[in-house]
Amino acid sequence: MERVKVGIDLGGSHVAVGAVDLDGNIIEQYEKDFTVKEKVNLLPVAIEFMVEAIEHLKTKYEIAKVGLGMAGTISNGMVLKSVNLGIENFDMKKELEMKTGLQVVIKNDAKCVAIAEYQSEDLKPYQNVLFLTLGTGIGGSYIYQGKLMEGTVFEGFEFGHMVIKENGLLCRCGKKGCFEKYGSILAFKTKVIERLNLSHDIPGPELRKKIDTSKAFIEDIIEGYIRDLAIGISNLVNILEPDCIVIGGGFARYDYLLLEPLKEKLVNSKLLFNTRDDIMIKTAKMGNDAGVVGASLL
């Protein structure tokens, strides 16, 4: 049997479980998008899917270990808080190890993306890189002078819960006006779905087709989303002054529509304290697979 590591990327809307070879390549992967109904009590659904996928992979590979990247604050395998997964003080490591019989390592998903992506040749020229994962919420991490920065009390870099609008929309964290209520891909998709009167369970490829044929009807939504996303990112740029910004998560599947307008907004608006003629923003090279690869490398 081929020896592999298993990487899992768990978010509030999607879970992926992949067998990753020793060179860091995904050789087999199972994915699931959570339905609106499943999101009401997401944790047992997610655990059942992850365990079933791992058990299937066991029949084909020798598994060295399991790495899980997930949204939220993680400490020694304990999920202290994950607002978009509805979890608080849950020992995910113990639960998965008991159900799979394998060693499990857990880390915040945005940190996993940074670990995976920073190994690429494309990012070697950059010492300071800002990573954002735009999905159900917004995750963040920062490579400073070539090293992943982390807090000592908590992992930190919860950029999604930076307030960008006073008395704005209520976030699941309890605050109002959080960045992720405006800049997450979920925020964008929700507005499009409601404008076009579509099902909230519409598959991603079908939604993108609808977007491509309905741009005239949603132009204001795209412009508003880019404006809010640029506000949040400009705050981070003004503080951290990264050499490069890498955006992953569900955004990677909509970059053809959103990336260039985002760059243009940041460069041509007055949002940046230190004005630039250009700004280096890339989509995660591994796309939405970066979380799976990064988790396998833990």
All CATH 3.30.420.40 domain ranges in the chain, comma separated: 2-113+290-296, 124-284
Distance separating alpha carbons of residues 69 and 296, to the nearest angstrom = 9
| CATH 3.30.420.40, domain 2-113+290-296, yes or no | yes
As a three-state string, the secondary structure of 29-95 is EEEEECCHHHHCCHHHHHHHHHHHHHHHHHCCEEEEEEEEEECCEEECCEEEEECCCCEEEEEHHHH
- pLDDT of the chain, 298 residues: tens digit per residue: 899 999 999 998 999 999 999 888 999 999 999 999 999 999 999 999 999 999 999 999 999 999 999 988 998 889 999 998 888 999 999 999 999 999 999 999 999 999 999 988 889 899 999 999 999 999 999 999 999 998 888 888 999 999 999 999 999 999 999 999 999 999 999 999 999 999 999 999 999 999 999 999 999 999 999 999 999 999 999 999 999 999 998 999 999 999 999 999 999 999 999 988 899 999 998 887 889 999 999 8
Domain 124-284, CATH 3.40.50.12280 — does that match? no
